[in-house]
Amino acid sequence: MTNTDRRVSERASLDKRDLRRSFLDNLLYVQGKFPKLANNADYYLALAHTVRDRLMQRWISTASAYTSQASRTVCYLSAEFLMGPHLGNNLINLGIYDETAKMVAELGLDLEDLLYQEEEPGLGNGGLGRLAACFIDSLATLEVPALGYGIRYEYGIFHQTLVDGWQAEKTDKWLRYGNPWEIARPEWTVEIRFGGHTEQYVDEQQRLRVRWLPARVVLGVPHDTPILGYHVNTANTLRLWKAEAAESFDFGQFNRGDYAGAVTQKIVSENLSKVLYPNDEQEAGKELRLQQQYFFVSASLQDMLRILKIQGVPVENFHEKFAVQLNDTHPAIGVAELMRLLVDEHLLVWDTAWDITCKSFGYTNHTLMPEALERWSLPLFQRVLPRHLEIIYEINARFLDQVRLRFFGDEQRLARMSLIDEHGPRYVRMANLACAGSHAINGVADLHTELLKQDVLKDFYELWPEKFSNKTNGVTPRRWIVLANPRLTALISETLGEGWIKDLGQLRGLERHVENADFRARWAKVKRDNKADLAAHITRRLGISINPDSIFDVQVKRIHEYKRQHLAALHIIALYLRIKANPNIDLTPRTFIFGGKAAPGYFMAKLMIKLITAIGDVVNVDPAVRDRLKVVFMPNFSVTNGQRIYPAADLSEQISTAGKEASGTGNMKFQMNGALTIGTMDGANIEIQQEVGAENFFQFGLSTPEVYALGASGYRPMEYYQRSDALREVIDLIASGFFSRGDASLFKPLVDNLLYHDPYFLLADFDSYVACQDEVASVYRDADRWTRMAILNSARSGKFSSDRTILQYCDEIWGAKSVPIRLLTQEDVES
Ligand code: RUG
């Protein structure tokens, strides 16, 4: 036990004694209820406050140490933080989960029921936002000073329900019952300006300067959530900005009788933090999105300058104090905003300001999909951020001079690298701005980074190869194993001790136990019990009975054509046709579990959901199938649902078209929990395969170079359809209206798209996928072999801890170090 661990465990045992007292006090004094009247929601809130109280000492101690030591601080700017519920995670990180479960049980309550009461803060779309949450956990666990900066959306990602098999969206009112985890800090409110125009003036030193006269001002009010590391005293801060009107009420308008107009400004201002944008949406109507981005980025940079001032650090040293990471291009406007703050408000000369800016920012790219690379039309940009457009023009002029010197006469390259896209109404290219203004640029898996260098950011790579590096994603084992999978946690800890929770590489120690039949049996039982739990949950929720001994074949992630949930659907139909052709066929029973949201405006993705549910409607009730196949679409995939699903999966579907998925992180959560992967050579799948060995991974499909070559040679999906009997029968069955009550038109857009375009090469990969799935089914029949492979998958997942990723960012990009925190005593605080 280290000194820190010992301090923490001493503290925890102190905490235990008064846990029950505080819980009951909070029920009384915070919730205003006594046990007879209280319901589970009251008990949840009382428990949340009890736990928050226990975070406070660590939070204050951390803030105090950071203030006095002025250590380098990581500022992670992200439009999304998909945190998941806080209570369970905080109990784990505090080390009081079991005690708390016991304490509430003594009061006749079930901790699981209380945890279930928490409204998950769904402030993210998927992988990108969840990555930010894992990073924040790892930074705290590694005791690195860090602030997460984002938006406190009033409505998070929509709540998905299914109506007649179609996705329906409902507003996510996660704040409806209050949020016990946050503390508003109105004293650190900042002003954010929008619109208007600029003018030049001459300052006292006779220098020409620019002044921005905005059309309106909005307030950004910070709401702070403590982020406790695992078994350490460090509690960092997630600071989310809420938009408020500078004046909530216009008495002028009110007195003139315009009662609605009197509150318009308030409504318009508060809209800024109203709702999270679902990704994969069309460009139109996105002005609010640019405003949101600027809102939180400006607020965050102003906040950093405030901290600098408190610490007495000169503004010229901004980059020494802060490492600011851009999570995708969403916060890239920060480059222009920091320049504005330094040049216009702190009166630094341009070159100094630019040097500080470039040394401060790092940029992480998360996508190769051209449509996801953000750009803003000039008229829109000019309207919202007139001063920033001038600054971007100036950055661009100086940047292009540099490119011209290096690549003399290469006009096409200049046009490609310009921060302004000259096509159509002309656009600001946010990825180019992020690259120009950052000292480090990274992709999120080996393949992704290589493809950035060869393709999407090739010109930037040729100009500044030294700026580029790879940082393969990772996920936090605290949430994704310890919290989500207590059975597996107990087995691993009993076998290896608890060191693996902070040093996931230690899971390699499990390899020594693979040949131990008793260990394998215990491993298999953990999985079987987890599957039984999920099966019971599905039956309760959806009324579908499933066989826990079938293969749990799972694909949970955003619904998108490139992720190819419809390829899995084609496979289900192929199996169904085999049963129909040969009712007594000896088929390994399978339960196909899908989950994921489609962007509300993405028609094809919604049709893919409908196809899956329609297949389920037929297959699940056809007596000929005899329960050998079940198809389940679990509505509203979320962090909470993920925690139930990953531990119960046998097979992890990672079947994107090679070269399309930047990394993936669900693939890692499955692997840690002992699922085997069926996957293409895409994103981090490649590294997973390298770690586990080809013999423990089901690989299929075209490689990225093969996909490129096939595309270039004129891909004709119809030829694959004509060539493969199985494929033809599957497609024909969908086209016939068999899954749509005879309505042949329903899935026609999907079928036609596959037959005549197939931009994601499903038909080219179909035969290989089905053959690989046959291999899966045959290996599964050898239960011992499967368990061996599953253990090896977990044992070799150490690389995919976000702790490893964060250490690499700290060493290679941020120059940040750990700062262990001494807990302040009552006397310290009062002195
Ligand atoms: O699609 C990517 C995933 O491959 C990746 O694992 C994740 C985290 O790096 O980010 C996802 N992503 C990319 N989410 N949004 C974007 C584009 O803005």
The pLDDT tens digits of the residues spanning 581-600 come to 999 999 999 999 999 999 99
Band of pLDDT at residue 258, cut at 50, 70 and 90: confident
> 266, 249 in Cβ contact below 8 A?
yes
Whether the per-residue pLDDT at 283 is higher than 60: the answer is no
Q: Quick count: other Cβ atoms within 10 Å of Cβ 528?
A: 14
Average pLDDT of the residues in 269-293 = 84
Q: Which one-letter amino acid corresponds to residue 666?
A: G
Average pLDDT of the residues in 175-197 = 97
Match 């929509």 to its residue by tokens: 158
Band of pLDDT at residue 13, cut at 50, 70 and 90: very low
Band of pLDDT at residue 520, cut at 50, 70 and 90: very high
CATH number of 497-802: 3.40.50.2000
Q: Strands 698-699 and 676-679: what pairing?
A: parallel
| Mean pLDDT for all residues in the chain | 95
Question: 659's torsion region: left (phi>0), alpha (psi -120 to 50) or beta?
Answer: left
Catalytic one of 366, 467, 660, 796: 366
- Cα radius of gyration rounded to whole Å, the chain: 27
Match 């996931």 to its residue by tokens: 504
Look at residue 235 and give its three-state secondary structure: strand
Whether the per-residue pLDDT at 14 is higher than 50: the answer is no
Catalytic one of 7, 152, 557, 564: 557
Integer Cα distance of 641 and 85 in angstroms: 11
pLDDT at 278: 85
Give 405's Cβ-side CA count (13 Å radius): 5
Measured CA angle at 628 (ends 625, 629), to 5 deg: 85
Token output for 441: 């640029």
DSSP letter string, 596-633: -PPPTT-HHHHHHHHHHHHHHHHHTT-GGGTTSEEEEE
pLDDT at 282: 58
Ligand 1 centroid to Cα of residue 664, in Å, is 7
Band of pLDDT at residue 302, cut at 50, 70 and 90: very high
Closest-CA residue, ligand 1 atom 15, reads: 128
Q: Quick count: other Cβ atoms within 10 Å of Cβ 367?
A: 24
pLDDT at 281: 62
Ligand 1 centroid to Cα of residue 326, in Å, is 13
**Ligand 1, closest atom to CA 473?**
9
Long-range contacts of 314-320 (CB under 8 A, 24+ apart): 315/342, 315/346, 315/348, 316/348, 316/352, 316/356, 318/342, 318/356, 318/360, 319/356, 319/359, 319/360, 320/72
pLDDT at 284: 52
Match 């094809």 to its residue by tokens: 604
pLDDT at 219: 98
In sequence order, the β-bridge partners of residue 376 are 428
User: Each residue of 416-437: pLDDT tens digit?
Assistant: 999 999 999 999 999 999 999 9
Residues with CB under 6 A from ligand 1: 126-128, 131, 279, 328, 366-367, 372, 444, 473, 661-665, 683
Band of pLDDT at residue 719, cut at 50, 70 and 90: very high
Out of 6-15, 69-78, 335-344, which region has the weakest mean confidence (pLDDT)?
A: 6-15
Token output for 92: 């784990």
Chain centroid offset of residue 625 CA: 38
Secondary-structure percent of the chain, ordered helix, strand, coil, rounded to 5 = 55, 15, 30
Whether the per-residue pLDDT at 4 is higher than 70: the answer is no
Within 8 A by CB and 6+ apart from 270, the residues are 243, 244, 245
Question: Is 366 assigned a catalytic role?
Answer: yes
Cα end-to-end distance, the chain, whole Å: 31
DSSP letter string, 708-721: HHHHHT---HHHHH
Token output for 767: 């035969």
Whether the per-residue pLDDT at 251 is higher than 80: the answer is no
H or E segment and range at residue 122 = strand 122-123
Whether the per-residue pLDDT at 7 is higher than 80: the answer is no
Domain segments of the chain as ranges: 72-85+120-471, 497-802
Measured CA angle at 144 (ends 138, 145), to 5 deg: 120
Out of 163-172, 242-251, 373-382, 785-794, which region has the weakest mean confidence (pLDDT)?
A: 242-251
* 316 φ, ψ (degrees, to nearest 5): -65, -20
Match 């009081």 to its residue by tokens: 96
pLDDT at 496: 98
Out of 113-127, 258-272, 523-537, 816-830, which region has the weakest mean confidence (pLDDT)?
A: 258-272
User: Each residue of 535-555: pLDDT tens digit?
Assistant: 999 999 999 999 999 999 999
Band of pLDDT at residue 268, cut at 50, 70 and 90: confident
Integer Cα distance of 364 and 663 in angstroms: 12
> 554, 593 in Cβ contact below 8 A?
yes
Ligand 1 centroid to Cα of residue 269, in Å, is 29
ipTM above 0.85, yes or no: yes
**Record: fold of 72-85+120-471:** Rossmann fold (3.40.50)
Average pLDDT of the residues in 689-710 = 98
Band of pLDDT at residue 92, cut at 50, 70 and 90: very high
Closest-CA residue, ligand 1 atom 8, reads: 128
pLDDT at 521: 98
H or E segment and range at residue 264 = helix 259-270
Whether the per-residue pLDDT at 386 is higher than 70: the answer is yes
Average pLDDT of the residues in 294-313 = 98
pLDDT at 280: 66
Same CATH fold assignment for domains 72-85+120-471 and 497-802: yes
Average pLDDT of the residues in 152-170 = 98
